[in-house]
Amino acid sequence: MARKCFISFKTEDIAYKNYIQNSMYIDMIDKSLNEPILSNDEDYILNKIRTEYLADTTVTIHLIGSYSSENRGYQEQRYIKRELQASLYNGQGNTKNGILGVVLPQMYDKIYGGSYNCNICGGSHNYVGINDLTTIKEFSANHYIQNATNNKCSWNEDERYCVLVRWDDFKINPEEYIEMAFQKRSQSIANKTKVRPQ
């Protein structure tokens, strides 16, 4: 079944957005913003995105590239932050979206660091660097959802709300990952998400 999707991206990564829209032939209903909103009023722009593009979508595809990290500052990231905040909000006229983070190739080495031995549990884990250096808090805080004691050393798939996939894997079977993100909406982990994480 085709899902209504919104693609959240930085302008520098528009080639990937265009590739998804024009070359992948994904069975989805694309509700993405394709033309800039001609206004200098930030609140007007964000309200228009929320009401005309995001309101009836069910999955947000968040492209994670070199320009989408928290440490680039709020002013730089204000639009993708608000797009993910609106995607995570569950209220009247707006239901919570599943969030699919697609890691672009230039970020593979920064995000995927191989396996290591954990000094907390003694087990072996794969390092996945989802943090302020690689993405915005709206994604990282809802990918690694903290428990009450905040002492977790690893997260199972059912303990993460945001789904993460490499670009190369996404290209092979995009509908599978879109559906994974869509299904998160009805799982218990959906009750633990944060719209504006600190």
Q: Tens of pLDDT along 25-65?
A: 999 999 998 887 888 787 787 788 888 888 889 999 999 99
Task: For residue 76, count other CB atoms closer than 10 A to its CB.
Answer: 15
pLDDT over 60 at 148, yes or no: no
**pLDDT tier at 92, thresholds 50, 70, 90:** confident
Q: CA nearest 111: which of 135, 124, 130? A: 130
Q: Share the mean pLDDT of the chain.
A: 91
Question: 59-78: per-residue pLDDT in tens?
Answer: 999 999 999 999 998 888 98
Please give the pLDDT value at position 154. 82
Confidence bin at 19 (pLDDT 50/70/90): very high
Token duo for residue 165: 């996939």
> What confidence tier does 150 reach under pLDDT thresholds 50, 70, 90?
low
What is the spatial distance between Cα 10 and Cα 12, in angstroms, rounded to a whole number? 5
**pLDDT for 47:** 80
Domains in the chain (CATH in brackets) are: 3-192 (3.40.50)
**185, 176, 102, 61: CA torsion to nearest 10:** -50
